[in-house]
Structure 1
Amino acid sequence: MVFGRKSKKVVPFRSAGELDAMAAAGAVVGRALVAVRAAAAPGVSTLELDRVAEQVIRDAGAVPSFKGYHGFPASICASVNDRVVHGIPTETEVLAPGDLVSIDCGAVLDGWHGDSAWTFGVGALIAADRLLSEATEKSMVAGIAAMVPDNRLTDISHAIELGTRAAEVEHGRSYGIVDGYGGHGIGREMHLDPFLPNEGEPGKGPRLVVGSVLAIEPMLTLGTHDTKVLDDDWTVVTSDGSRAAHWEHTVAVTEDGPRILTVRPE
């Protein structure tokens, strides 16, 4: 889920034991996402996917982070096709072959939060949609690689942007980097300082230290970088109707390199 606040001098950090606790929460999120993807088939509603995720989370002794957050009514954000983020699952939205589905999920376990998202197709995707999702994932991976001690916040932003540009060269097309949305700090609250843009000049913002944790979440489109919010006051869609993809992991800085805290089971 995408929010942001003001920055401080150092990105908030956790002890090794606290990172393990966050990884336990993140593992619940990973299992929920895998279960949702397995259930996503033609004729299945996004509300049914929400029920799948909530069951996995509660069976693990965790609580859905999203449900009730600022009034959000569900355990996942289900954003289909031109929906970028914060899509509200409903009984009437039924998946069809070729749909591009972005699922964002959060869970809190023993007071610690995990937050992760991925994009997948319902059955086979057309090439443009498949490459869009791949480009977004590669941008996330580039951002994760920049999660090292003494980097600045916007070094991650810049890495995500460079990942997007590299995908554009590889795919022979341009992608829209969604404006105004990005990653965030996370810990005992789902959204903490600082806000993490998905593009920008390097070398600015708070410093990363061992134990710093961020949710890294690029969002790309096949067209515009502009969005609008629907009448439900949550669902963000592309202003030109182009399709969008969203990938996210909660990641920690360690002495041995970036640690993904929202690992998904194979």
Structure 2
Amino acid sequence: MEKKKINLLNEEIIYVEENTGKPKVLFLHGFNSSYNFANQVYRLENRNYDIVAFDFPGCGESSNNNEISVELYQKISEEFIKQTNINFDLVIGHSLGGASALYLLNKNYVKKALLAAPINYNILNTIAKETINQSIERLQKWLLPSNIEDATDSSNNLVYKEKNNYKKNISKIASVFLKLSQNKEKYFAKIVRHQIINPEFLKKEIKNLYKENKDYEFITGINDLFVPFLSVAKIANEYNKNIIGIKDCGHALFFEKPQEINDKINSLVYQLNE
């Protein structure tokens, strides 16, 4: 995989591109993540596709010259496809990346989207015994922790079961996450408070993305507390979309269950190219 950079909308965007002659799949990461979010999938040898992935502004190694918003990320995704002129049949959107994946799908830049635990309009009211206000408070603490307790709670709930000593090293992971969050809080505060955990934004702007009812499917962890499985299942039922629920899996499904993700992507790539 070759690391490259490209200037889009006054941002220097860092991306990786694989060129083995296989169909190319675009991977879009979630909130405050990077193109490395799916490393465990990238490393698999039985992939029937090439990977292209980039860091959104303010994330990973990309620049941060514009005000961070869902709309900026969508436009960056659009410009990336326009300027690289890479042909993608399939886009993978994880968590917040799902909003940009749907945007590309709705504007016909791709034929299909696989939405992995995507941001959606039900995330604030699908955990039993938790009010919408409680969901908002919890997610704000998890996305923008202000102390080590919140950072630890967020990091711990990102992954459902121990893997690769993740839980064993949770103190170190939480400490690094807290420092990163504090450094970026001023850049991410608006997108979190006014968009990701804003009921009105979710019910209007995010719901409108799904209402286009294009060719998308879901894959998500049964034990996800960031994007509850039920929140996704309701949309799948509403629009008659396929959904795969992965057992013993939280929000970090690319880390926890890479083979299951890869199997699904391989299947979709085959269907789109037969």
Higher share in strand: 1
- Which of the pair is proportionally richer in helix? 2
Same fold (TM over 0.5): no
Scaled by the length of structure 2, the TM-score of the pair is 0.28
Q: Comparing both chains, which one has the higher relative contact order based on Cα–Cα distances under 8 Å and sequence gaps of 6 or more?
A: 1
